[in-house]
Chains A and B, each alone.
Chain A
Amino acid sequence: MNAQVSVLLPELLLAGMGIFILLVGVLGRGSQRLAFFLANFGVLASMVAVVGVGERGTETFFAGMLQLDRFALFFRLLFLASALLVVWLSRPFLQRAQQTAWEYYALILFATLGMCFLASGVHLAGLYVSLELMALSSYILAGYFRGEVKSHEAATKYFVLGALSSGILIYGLSLMYGATGSLSLAEVSQKLAAGPRSVAATAGMFLLLAGMLFKVAAVPFHVWTPDVYEGAPTPMTAFFSVGPKAAAFAMLVRVLWVGLAPAAADWRLLVSWVAAATMVWGNVAALTQDNVKRMLAYSSIAHAGYTLLGVLAGGPLGTQSVLFYMLVYAVTNLGAFGLVVLLAAKEYAGEKVADFRGLAHRQPVAAFAMLLFLLSLGGIPPTAGFMGKLYLFAAAVHAGYAWLAVVGVIMSAVSLYYYFRIVKEMYLASAGEGEGVAVLSEAWGVRALVVCALATLLFGVYPTSALAFLAPAAKIVPW
């Protein structure tokens, strides 16, 4: 039993530090600096603990709730690293906006806790509760600008549609339980493979799928994304576009390929059309956006579409490409949103495409970093985005989804148009006034950007470093 509790150390550290931060905040002692330090300490300690606990193969813990394999190890490290970078990026925002930092950092830790359990969960009940922990923390964080109507609007839309989707998901789970008599992914899979599928199992499967596709923001379940990403505080937008999205993909891969694998023929048909629609609509809708956050929101929808190709492909190759793409996408997107955070002079300024006008003349380093992230999002070598897409599309072709890979490549070309609108403003427009763009002054934010930029280049030039680590993680799927 002791051995069982000790494997929870990373999660216990996160939860404990979150509660501790709240308590210190309530007592009203200590500065923003202390809150920042405690949040950093909690996340870093949890990272050390994740590495210390390591992987435990296919053994399950807590009555079949958790499985600490390489897949869980990778995703937990990814979530903790992105939480750390978001904490760094949040510092300038919290100082400028004069918001209290305590609840903010605590909620980031709680959301990360939910994501960590999503990565290691192999039981649908546990996955549901983890998903809700992540989502409820995110709703509050989206509304953290208490003085801004847009922030309330973002939180409300996120909450109403998120709660609707989780209602659909839990109803699907109840039908799945009715059809199979269990919520453990392994047992669900056995029961589904054993005999002909009942109506309840099919209905449950599609309701469950709809709930999960909402969380990854796939078309047609994406309508909340642009509004939430635009209205939420920008560091939180960076967080939502990376953490909860990667967590939802971790859940999607695990549920689809471990739990629902016997029914793959059915959901693959649906998911392939969803992937195509997501890639097309995400990129087309981004073309006309003038708000950079909204543009990146549609771009993140499009990237979810690309990632769905790897989910569809499945197998070691497809799963590996999904994990690698989540890594690449996390560093790239955090970098791009991070620049929007740092360049913004106050709450919602610095977010228009026009605000980037002439940036290369005034701040060449910042402009070059943005160029790097945009190239990576567009999938141009030698950046990480290129390697990520290469592996996704290769996996799709290998699995017989060549037509989807073709759609993906065409849509990547379309996406260059809107990414290069920002590049054009930065480099080709004359050094005009460029309103609302402040200097890169916040040290922690700049450090986060440097990490993102280096990782974007590293995984683009030398992807085998990550792929070698990810190859065993992709074997979670029993074949």
Chain B
Amino acid sequence: MVTIGHYLVLSSVLFAIGAGGVLLRRNGIATLLGIELMLNAANVAFVAFAKQHGNLEGQVVVFFVMAVAAAEVAVGLALLVAIFRRLQSIDVDRLSAMRW
């Protein structure tokens, strides 16, 4: 029997992997992947909760989140292309002109 708990464990694991990816990976593409994982972790939780509550609000939000995720990736990739043209690298650590 798959319960709401299983879905929540899956979603929290996905969220942790995504957040870890954003914080630890230096590759710009990997950062984008991490962000996508975080958003989709929320999607899994939304759908599972929508099923549990028996209302559709959560499922509708998933569509919003998917649209936002697509827009976010578009902006992120455009930024990475601009950086790559400039530095010949997508290592986000190379962007360190400003320090306190």
Q: Mark B34-68, 1 if CB is under 8 A from A, else 0.
A: 01001101110110111011010110110011011
Cα–Cα, bound, A128→B8 (Å): 21
Cα–Cα, bound, A177→B53 (Å): 9
Interface residues on B, range: 35 or more
In the complex, which of the residues B22, B28, B57, B98 contacts A153, with contact meaning CB atoms closer than 8 Å?
Answer: B98
For residue A183, CB closer than 8 A to chain B, the reply is yes
Please tell me if the beta carbons of B41 and A171 are within 8 angstroms of each other in the complex: yes
Q: Mark A173-204, 1 if CB is under 8 A from B, else 0.
A: 11101100111000000000000000000000
Q: Known contacts being A181-B53, A183-B61, is A156 close to B22, with CB within 8 Å?
A: no
Cα–Cα, bound, A160→B73 (Å): 11
How many inter-chain residue pairs (CB < 8 Å) link A and B? 125
Q: Mark B58-100, 1 if CB is under 8 A from A, else 0.
A: 1011001101100110011011001100110000100111101
Please tell me if the beta carbons of B35 and A156 are within 8 angstroms of each other in the complex: no
Please give me the residue from chain B that is nearest to A137 by CB atom. Answer: B75
The DSSP consensus for interface residues of chain B is helix
Please tell me if the beta carbons of B60 and A178 are within 8 angstroms of each other in the complex: no
- Minimum distance in angstroms from B12 CB to a CB of chain A: 9
Q: Mark B6-43, 1 if CB is under 8 A from A, else 0.
A: 00100100010011001100001001000100110111
Residues of chain B within 8 A of A294, CB atoms compared: 100
Cα–Cα, bound, A451→B1 (Å): 66
Q: Known contacts being A136-B72, A160-B22, is A152 close to B49, with CB within 8 Å?
A: no
Residues of chain B within 8 A of A132, CB atoms compared: 68, 71-72
Please tell me if the beta carbons of A173 and B42 are within 8 angstroms of each other in the complex: yes
Please tell me if the beta carbons of B45 and A174 are within 8 angstroms of each other in the complex: yes
- Additional A-B contacts beyond A163-B22, A163-B76, A166-B68 (18; CB < 8 A): A125-B57, A125-B60, A128-B61, A139-B75, A150-B97, A152-B95, A159-B75, A160-B92, A163-B35, A167-B15, A167-B19, A167-B35, A171-B42, A174-B61, A177-B57, A178-B4, A227-B98, A294-B100
20 pairs, CB–CB < 8 Å, chain A vs chain B: A125-B57, A125-B60, A125-B64, A128-B61, A128-B65, A129-B68, A136-B72, A139-B79, A152-B82, A153-B96, A156-B95, A163-B72, A164-B38, A170-B39, A171-B41, A177-B61, A178-B8, A178-B48, A178-B52, A231-B98
